[in-house]
Structure 1
Amino acid sequence: MLSVQGINQYFGASHTLRDVELSVGGGRIFCLMGRNGVGKTTLLNTLLGLLPAQSGEISLAGERIDGLKTEDRVGRGIAYVPQGRMIFPDLTVMENLRVALAGRRGGGTGVPEQVFEFFPVLAEMANRRGGDLSGGQQQQLAIGRALVLEPRVLLLDEPCEGIQPNIVQLIGEVIQRLRSEQNLSVLLVEQKLPFARAVADDFAIMDRGQIVADGAMDQLSEELVAEYLTV
């Protein structure tokens, strides 16, 4: 579904992404792992067009999108939940969700009921300001806003960061339902190893801007964890 080939990216004189290649299959949950500062968020931003790639190809469902603007990549079916959520604190929950309608594939004027099925708290707090929600509620809102786009690929950057365990479990269940019920592909950046092992089908490890290991999640060995993931 999402294919990345030979992506290189620079920030000033720093070579931040080095010949990155990965493939997220249809209906697969792919976890991108690595210590802080190795390029994981930079890769997500590059996939969405928020940062330029100096070389390489990005394809979605067989169509090259690396030459498209961010809004056009979203229109092709990519949704992004950034680290830190980035909801609009002064807008209500419902207004935050409706903001996404402008970029939704195939148009549409209403928030899908499925969003409230996955995250009932959003219906309960529809008229509350986003900034008044707890961290876990804001994360549900951020993911719900991305789902309004009805994407084919969902990019999630550290969705469990600072979230209470019951919401972490809920997010994991929602991700797995999206995969099984809608064949949605998920590219997940996550440092919580138990969560990654529980939800992901495949993994790749980044170190110094490049992929150093990848495979099925059950192939993630303790040796790789010790070398590249242990702080």
Structure 2
Amino acid sequence: MKRKFYFLLAISIILCTGYKPKEPKILIIGDSISIGYFPKVKEALASKAIVKHNPGNAQHTGTGIKKIKDWIGEEDWDIIQINWGLWDLCYRHADSKIYGNRDKVNGTITYDLETYTKNLEELVNTIKANTAAKIVFVTTTYVPKKEAGRFTKDVPKYNAAAKLVMKKNGVLVNDIYKKSKTIHKKHGIGDDDVHYTKKGYEELSKLIVPTLNKTMEDL
């Protein structure tokens, strides 16, 4: 009887004081693709978690190395979802008139595969050293063949390298590449652009939310 009384008393106190259990905090770090699907992810998880995105575009792994500590800040994150790739494998040339100086014919790649791998190692180690958050890595999305600064064939190579880094470091991988290809063919902006329509980003968000939900269950 006493145990039941104290249980009911605790419930009454919670109801009267408006106590809410701590909501998990999720930080999403990524480029314009993640910026595109972020609103729908935040909306889907609104009743379960506090979801934020790093300020601006996380660009390539070099930018990540410079800014990762600032993005983590003093927050007590439970989950940090990361992605770098599209900027790393992009070729650019100062004389190119195409947006972002993209030029896969005359340009220079931002980071070759070896450097990309080393940078990801450093980023994962830095996150682990500065937070107890669970890390989720999302693979790079599809690149259409006519994209001016990127080769379609490079994406699987960079994804494979990234997955090896994550496996080595015990990081969960949400591999959305194949499904992103299907989504892009239906809801991509065009066959020369890596970005998506509003519907495309909504469909991408549906690939992100289940993994974050599962990760929250395991906290």
Structure 1 length normalisation: TM-score? 0.34
Q: Under a length normalisation based on structure 2, what TM-score does the superposition of the two structures give? A: 0.35
Structure with higher strand content: 1
Larger Rg: 2
Greater RCO, CA 8 A, separation 6+? 1
